[in-house]
Amino acid sequence: MRNTTIISTTLLLLVLIGCGSDSQDKTSAPEPVAPLPKVAPTINNTHGNISTETPGVAKTITVAGNTFNVTVKGSITPNAVIDVSIVQSSGPTAAAIRVWVGDASGVGSMKIKVHSHGASSHAHAKAPAKLPANSALWIEVQNADGTSGSGSIQVD
């Protein structure tokens, strides 16, 4: 009984010491932050320009059993950056979509994997400094089942 009393008293003192501490945490609500002003994005650097003033070219293309509605803003000129929006309208889910500007081989071109949000995808394809004859925007699709294919869109 004597041990129980000593243990109980010690525990009670420890609890009281912990609760009676003057160093209580004082948390305050975070200061509200004013929202940043919205600024229209612009890209204008030595690597090329994305022209959003042009109405763009809208075409439908079927690649690897998938049908896509493709909107292209910009023109194919050396070092140009072309704004590409792709919306899948039918077919199996594409595991990966890549785009490039140039010829079918892609030699000298930079292949870009598109950024996807479900059926909608977007990319900025950069044209090489030396464009091959009859350059186009190429779209390569890889399906989840392993099938793949590519097709092109002529952009003026």
Number of domains in the chain: 1
Report the chain's mean pLDDT, rounded to a whole number: 80
Residue 33 in any domain: the answer is no
- Higher per-residue pLDDT: 44 or 2: 2
Distance between CA 76 and CA 67 in Å, rounded?
A: 23
pLDDT digits (tens, 9 = 90+) for 21-79: 554 555 555 555 555 444 444 333 333 444 444 568 899 999 999 999 999 999 999 99
- Please tell me the predicted confidence (pLDDT) of residue 146: 92
Q: Is residue 137 part of a domain?
A: yes
Domain for residue 82, yes or no?
Answer: yes
C-beta of residue 126 within 8 angstroms of C-beta of residue 99? no
Per the structure, the complete domain to which residue 125 belongs is given by 47-149
Per-residue confidence (pLDDT) for residue 103, from 0 to 100: 94
33 burial level (CB within 10 Å; 0-12, 13-18, 19+): exposed
User: Which among 68, 87, 50, 55 has a CA at the least distance from the CA of 152?
Assistant: 68
Residues 6+ apart with CB under 8 A from 22: none
Question: Is residue 135 situated within a structural domain?
Answer: yes
